[in-house]
Chain A
Amino acid sequence: MIEWETVIGLEVHVQLTTASKIFSGSSTAFGAEPNSQASLIDLGLPGTLPSVNRAAIEQAISFGLAIGADINQRSVFERKHYFYPDSPKGYQTTQNDEPIVKGGAIEIELENGERKTIRIHHAHLEEDAGKSSHEGFQGNSGIDLNRAGTPLIEVVSEPDMRSAEEAVAFARALYSIVTTLGVCDGKMAQGSLRFDVNVSVRPKGQEEFGTRTETKNLNSFRFMEACIKQEVARQIDVLEDGGNVVQETRLYNGDTHTARSLRVKEDADDYRYFPCPDIPPVVVSSEDIEALKAALPELPEARKARFVSEYELSNYDATQLTTERHTADYFEAVAKHCGDAKLAANWVLGDVAGMLNQQELSITDSPISAEQLGELITRIKDGTISGRIAKQVFDAVCESGKSPDAIIEEQGLKQVSDSGALEKIVDQVLADNPEQVEAFRAAEEHRQKRMFGFFVGQTMRLSQGKANPQQVNQILQEKLKG
Chain B
Amino acid sequence: MHQLTLTQLQQGLANGDFTATDIAEHYLSRIEAHDPQLNSFITITADQALAQAKAADKARAKGEAGPLNGLPIAHKDMFCTQGVKTTSASRMLDNFVPPYNATVVERLQQAGMVMLGKTNMDEFAMGSSNTTSFYGAVKNPWQPDCVPGGSSGGSAAAVAARLTPAATGSDTGGSIRQPAALTGITGLKPTYGRISRWGMIALASSMDQAGPMATTAEDCALLLNALAGHDNKDSTSATQAAEDYTQGLQQPISGLRIGVPEEFFPETLSSGVANPVRAALSLLEEQGAVLVPISLPCLAWVVPTYTALVAAEACSNLSRFDGVRFGHQCDNPKDIEDLFTRSRSEGFGANVKERILLGNSMLSVENYQRYYVKAQQVRRLISQALTEALQEVDLIAGPTTPDVAFGFDDKQDPVSMNLSDTFTIGANLAGLPAISFPVGFEQGLPVGAQLIGGAFKEAQLLQVVHQYQQATQWHQETPKLGAAQ
Which residues of A are in contact with B by a Cβ distance under 8 Å? 40, 43-52, 79, 81, 83, 85, 88-91, 141, 143, 268, 270, 272-274, 277-280
Contact = CB atoms under 8 A, between A and B. Distances in A.
Contacts of B322: 83, 85, 90
A143 B336 CA distance: 12
Nearest to A81: B319
A32 B41 CA distance: 42
Contact of A272 (B100, B234, B363): B363
B325 A88 contact: yes
A47 B204 contact: no
Contacts of A268: 365
A38 B284 CA distance: 54
A274 B198 CA distance: 21
Given A52-B235, A83-B340, A272-B363, A45 B326 contact: yes
A47 B324 contact: no
A82 to B, nearest CB: 9
A274 B362 CA distance: 10
A46 B325 contact: no
Given A47-B98, A51-B233, A277 B320 contact: no
A83 B319 contact: yes
Contacts of A274: 312, 316, 363, 368, 372
A40 B99 contact: yes
B205 A278 contact: yes
A74 B422 CA distance: 34
A270 B365 contact: yes
B86 interface: yes
B438 interface: no
Interface string B408-437: 000000000000000000000000000000
Nearest to A41: B233
B312 A49 contact: no
A259 to B, nearest CB: 23
A91 B322 CA distance: 11
A44 B322 CA distance: 11
A49 B205 CA distance: 10
15 contacts: A46-B201, A47-B79, A47-B100, A47-B102, A52-B235, A79-B316, A81-B316, A88-B324, A89-B320, A90-B322, A141-B336, A272-B363, A274-B316, A277-B206, A279-B236
A49 to B, nearest CB: 5
Contacts of A43: 325-326
A143 B324 CA distance: 9
Contacts of A91: 316, 319
Interface in B81-133: 86, 88, 93, 96, 98-100, 102
B313 A90 contact: no
Nearest to A267: B365
Contacts of A143: 324
B352 interface: no
B88 A49 contact: no
Contacts of A45: 80, 98-100, 325-326
Nearest to A79: B316
B320 A88 contact: yes
Given A274-B316, A277-B313, A47 B202 contact: yes
Given A45-B326, A90-B322, A272 B235 contact: no
A365 to B, nearest CB: 36
A79 B313 CA distance: 10
Contacts of B475: none
Interface in B348-375: 360, 363-365, 368, 372
B236 A46 contact: no
How many B residues touch the partner, as a band? 35 or more
Contacts of A278: 202, 205, 235-236
B319 A51 contact: no
A51 B231 CA distance: 11
Contacts of A277: 204-206, 236, 313
A48 to B, nearest CB: 7
A277 B88 CA distance: 20
B368 A44 contact: no
A71 B322 CA distance: 37
Contacts of A52: 235
A99 B345 CA distance: 35
Contacts of B78: 47
B232 interface: yes
A81 B322 CA distance: 13
A50 B320 CA distance: 14
10 closest A-B pairs by beta carbon, nearest first, are A90-B319, A272-B363, A277-B205, A277-B206, A47-B199, A44-B320, A46-B201, A47-B80, A89-B320, A47-B201
A141 B335 CA distance: 10
A57 to B, nearest CB: 13
Contact of B80 (A46, A79, A85, A273): A46
A83 B363 CA distance: 16
A272 B364 contact: yes
B197 interface: yes
B326 to A, nearest CB: 7
A290 B70 CA distance: 54
Given A45-B325, A45-B326, A272-B360, 11 more contacts: A40-B100, A47-B79, A47-B100, A49-B234, A49-B236, A81-B316, A88-B325, A90-B322, A270-B365, A272-B363, A279-B236
Contact of A48 (B88, B198, B321, B327): B198
A179 to B, nearest CB: 31
B200 interface: yes
A89 B204 contact: no
A274 B322 CA distance: 20
A46 B96 contact: yes
B336 A85 contact: yes
Contacts of B318: 90
A51 B232 contact: yes
B364 A49 contact: no
Q: Which among A46, A273, A274 has the highest number of chain B CB atoms within 10 Å?
A: A46
A49 B320 CA distance: 12
Contacts of B201: 46-47
A44 B235 CA distance: 16
A49 B326 contact: no
Contacts of A44: 320, 325
B464 to A, nearest CB: 31
Interface in B277-321: 312-313, 316, 318-321
B360 A90 contact: no
Nearest to A44: B320
B375 to A, nearest CB: 11
B202 to A, nearest CB: 7
A7 B285 CA distance: 75
B363 A46 contact: no
B329 to A, nearest CB: 12
Contacts of A272: 316, 360, 363-365, 368
Nearest to B88: A46
B198 A49 contact: yes
Contacts of A279: 235-236
Interface in B185-206: 197-202, 204-206
Nearest to A85: B324
A22 to B, nearest CB: 12
Contacts of A280: 235-236
B260 to A, nearest CB: 32
Contacts of B88: 46
B365 to A, nearest CB: 5
